[in-house]
């Protein structure tokens, strides 16, 4: 029987099978503080890490740790290299996050181009808001637009399916350049990153945050986008140089942005709040009951499989 530290209060139904076979240490409140984690991790065999930075100090403190099961697909908050050096397995939940994140990206596109949240704000605050045609709230259709997807993993492909159903054109850039079956079935086309940025009406980011993708979208990349183009980021904040993005938005060099993630979460530039052509959400890509429950099941499956067979299902 393993001793497993769970950093955050997760859906109980998802944890039930794990609790039946192992000892779980779970928070009485919403989550454990870092100090509480450091106190409890000493003799634990596993850490189920949800909304937690797992750095070298924490890993060193967990002298019995055998596995860190990340609650989410992105592992940029975990020192994976140091865990590997210590012989600790790191897993993630790449499947459970797919549809909810793609839904949000598609919803942000709708909201940004059709100015849905902007109109909602003005209707609530401006009694003189004009209801007629061809005035301040005219937007853009998704139909017929070219969507450029940066990162054609599970989430990127799920977004592409939605875009194709809306009769959009899809181009993509990915570390692996050819998805033959996907291209044949969908009509999507691979391009270089520069070509994608130059051709797309909407650019949606779905790449993990790594050393190579940090500030992947910076001043140069923004400079070659169409002035009429929109940027959607539901990946990680630091994939975009936020300062450069702010400058390009302020100068009208791109048409707008929808951001679910930020470089210094939960902090972000106050200037974004004043921009009607920016839609902001607080990192809610997987924030649905269904997705959170399935993420718990997937993280638990990683732990169960590891303790039964000595290896993980979704090893990073």
Is 236 labeled as catalytic in the residue annotation? yes
Cis bond before residue 266 (omega within 30° of 0): yes
Q: How many alpha carbons lie under 13 Å from residue 242 in its C-beta half-sphere?
A: 19
Is 283 labeled as catalytic in the residue annotation? yes
Of 114, 189, 215, 283, which is the active-site residue?
Answer: 283
Q: How many alpha carbons lie under 13 Å from residue 56 in its C-beta half-sphere?
A: 3
Measured distance CA(135)–CA(131) in Å, rounded: 8
Is 183 labeled as catalytic in the residue annotation? no
Of 236, 263, 294, 298, which is the active-site residue?
Answer: 236
Cα–Cα distance list, 108 to 53, 175, 214, 224 (Å) = 27, 25, 22, 22
Cα 97 versus chain centre, distance: 8
Of 12, 85, 265, 290, which is the active-site residue?
Answer: 265
Cα 287 versus chain centre, distance: 11
Helix (H) or strand (E) holding 104: helix 98-114
Cα–Cα distance list, 163 to 126, 167, 171, 181 (Å) = 33, 6, 11, 18
Q: Supply the residues annotated as catalytic.
A: 236, 265, 283
């Amino acid at each position: 029987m393993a001793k497993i530290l769970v950093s955050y209060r997760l859906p109980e139904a998802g944890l039930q099978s794990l609790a039946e076979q192992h000892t779980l240490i779970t928070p009485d409140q919403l989550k454990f503080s870092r100090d509480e984690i450091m106190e409890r991790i000493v003799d634990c065999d596993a850490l189920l890490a949800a909304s937690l930075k797992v750095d070298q100090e924490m890993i060193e403190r967990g002298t019995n740790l055998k596995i860190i099961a990340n609650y989410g697909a992105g592992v940029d908050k975990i020192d994976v290299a140091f865990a590997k050096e210590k012989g600790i397995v790191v897993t993630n939940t790449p499947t459970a996050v797919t549809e909810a994140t793609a839904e949000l990206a598609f919803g942000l596109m709708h909201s940004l181009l059709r100015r849905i949240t902007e109109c909602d704000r003005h209707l609530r605050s401006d009694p003189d808001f004009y209801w007629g045609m061809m005035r301040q709230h005219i937007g853009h259709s998704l139909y017929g637009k070219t969507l450029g997807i940066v990162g054609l993993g599970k989430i990127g492909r799920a977004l592409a399916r939605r875009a194709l159903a809306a009769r959009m054109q899809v181009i993509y850039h990915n570390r692996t350049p050819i998805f033959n079956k996907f291209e044949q079935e969908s009509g999507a086309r691979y391009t270089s990153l520069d070509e994608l940025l130059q051709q797309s009406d909407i650019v949606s980011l779905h790449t993990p945050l790594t050393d190579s993708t940090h500030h992947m979208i910076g001043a140069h990349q923004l400079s070659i986008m169409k002035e009429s183009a929109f940027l959607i980021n539901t990946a990680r904040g630091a994939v975009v140089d936020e300062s450069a993005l702010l400058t390009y938005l302020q100068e009208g060099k791109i048409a707008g942005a929808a951001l679910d993630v930020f470089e210094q979460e939960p902090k972000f530039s106050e200037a974004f709040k004043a921009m009607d052509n920016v839609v902001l959400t607080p990192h809610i890509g997987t924030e649905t009951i269904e997705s959170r429950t399935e993420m718990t099941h997937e993280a638990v499956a990683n732990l169960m499989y590891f303790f039964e067979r000595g290896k993980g299902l979704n090893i990073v």
